[in-house]
A and B are shown apart, each in its own frame.
Chain A
Amino acid sequence: MTPSAPIALLAELTHRCPLSCPYCSNPVELERKETELDTETWKEVLGQARDLGVLQVHLSGGEPASRRDLEELTEHAAGLGLYTNLITSGIGLTPRRLDNLEAAGLDHIQLSLQGTNANLADIIGGYRGGFDRKMSVAKDIRERGIPLTLNAVMHRKNLDDLDRTIEMAVELGARRLEVACVQFHGWALQNRAALLPTREQTQAVKETVAEAARRLQGVLAFDFVPPDYYSDFPKACMGGWGSTGLNITPNGTVLPCHAAQTLTHLRFENVRDIGLEDIWYNSQAFNAYRGTDWMPEPCQSCDRKELDFGGCRCQALALAGDAGATDPVCRKSPLHAKVTEILHQEPNAHDSDLVYRKL
């Protein structure tokens, strides 16, 4: 059976970022500026993505505004008919750059939120003054009427501020709020003992989001990523490996998901060497966990196998020591007791120091 074509491309233009969040989704081994793809190569790759069937491109990082050619790449992507979404901390988006991005055809901005006040947000982001700059950028975005989603990354240190987070999303004129509880890969895994929510917080966040979604219907839409360690079933990572989305790192490495480089037994191809279409359909890495044939028990005979696809491969490796195992978050996993044990210990541990991302 021929795999379906991808819908979305996450283009990580750079790993450079003024923030150093301890849950950064970039890999622990960050790529340096010298290795980044140049403007012309990114344009070529965007064209290949469009020809392959991609409809939406998420311009991300690091902080994508760290690239001086962000406007040029946005214009190129929009010109190809791609829906262009900017995923940003806001730092570096001056009013002038926002004007230029608008003129380039930018469709939407997803702005991250580290906390609801400067004290907390700047500690999490590791960047003094970051919160005030972000609020100023949010105002500039609103004035221009650029569609805005606020992406609030939530964890033990800020979950108790959820009510204020929701209020802020309304005040800032966001149409959508993503309440994204930290997923434990890479940097976040190193900080799990400090960031893992308590059971009480997990219960409260579900209730608060459900209540607010009802109260604010038609005003603010919600997307909710629950803390998956507390779930009965794992998250359907990427909606199925190699099925709908792909990720390109700053140096051109093509990944089935942003965390996939932790799977060191896979070989990830680079757009400098091979065309994107060939990589998507034929590479070892994209075919490794595609479909359901690779699945072990209990997934193979589970009626949820095409709902959650066995969960997250990176989490299976991190917790079970085998990327081909059932995600131990699943209550049917033979190794689920490991997750239970972590939940028993870590959320109640004394606060440990945060490990900030760095080169």
Chain B
Amino acid sequence: MKRLLTAALSAALIASTAQAQKLNFDDPAEFARQRELLTAKANGPNGEPWAQYYGDQMADTAKFRKEGPYTICFSNAGVNNAWRVTGWTNMQAEVKLHPEIKELIHVDAEGSDDKQISDIDDLIDGGKCSALIVSPNTTAALTPAVEKACAKLPVIVFDRGVNTKCPVTFIHPVGGYGFGIQAGEFVAANAPTGANVLMLRIVPGVDVLETRASAAKHIFKEKGLNVIGEEFTEGDNAKTKSIVEDYLQRGKIDAVWMDAGATAVAALEAFEDSGLPLPVITGEDQQDFLMKWKAEGFKAIAPTYPTYQWRTPIIAAVKVLKGEQVPGPEWVMPQPAITAETLDQYVNDKMPPLHHAMCGCEKLPDYPAAWGGQ
């Protein structure tokens, strides 16, 4: 029995290593493509990045044309972090702009692949959905479920992708390399030559986060910066603060690079509480970081993974059901970074600390109350 268990365990280990080797988070071609997109001009209405797209490849949707009113179904990976909370609020508000939509049926997979697979099955079997929107929990696990849904009705995927081209379109911002490039280049331009950079990351192994880190490392290497450490914070404020305090005891940190901004303020507080000047830092569009930035005026940039992308699937679904063309098979949208020059547009002390400012939600119904603002 024991031997069997050992055998099974080692087999699983080998399988998972093979899997890890297969995934490539350091793809020079994709790196170059995303670097280009960051400065490219997007198509679509000015000032409405959620409706904009790069390139001109369109998906034909005439065969999905249907008379309204529509029932849109949404299988959501989870509402388990502040980014998703803001995004989900955006989507509900977007629905209110479309009188053709009779109902939005939302099922929350609570971060579980299994639940999301059965959620999608239930939605298909329920027979009420005119179109299905999926925000997959993980890429590989959800692929078969999405393929199954494609056979029955128009499917729109956003945020994380799936390994199939069957959905009408896959909506996402430029991507992880783009995020890493924006943050990395800012650090390289603003920290002294040969500066010590601490890289703070949430968890290893998540594609959109891995690509952010690999892109930044490229840039640091290119510009001769010294990466003194790469630490995983699990998105925990207390842990982040502890890690930074420990590094500060051992030596100097000139810049902090973060793969996501949730704990940026905690990292800054570690400098404050140690009585040191604030470093060059990269955060995200979380309101607490923007507030701190505005108040203290340190050197920072906030690349975003914009939550306005949660509006787009609804816009796309309505278009698809009306038989209008949408960008496809990929709908790549702009991914702006907040800089010192644009900070004032986004900082807002009436919004809650974990609100993500790049929400494109200021003109949506029920703003700001629905987002927890005053």
Q: Do A and B come from one complex?
A: no
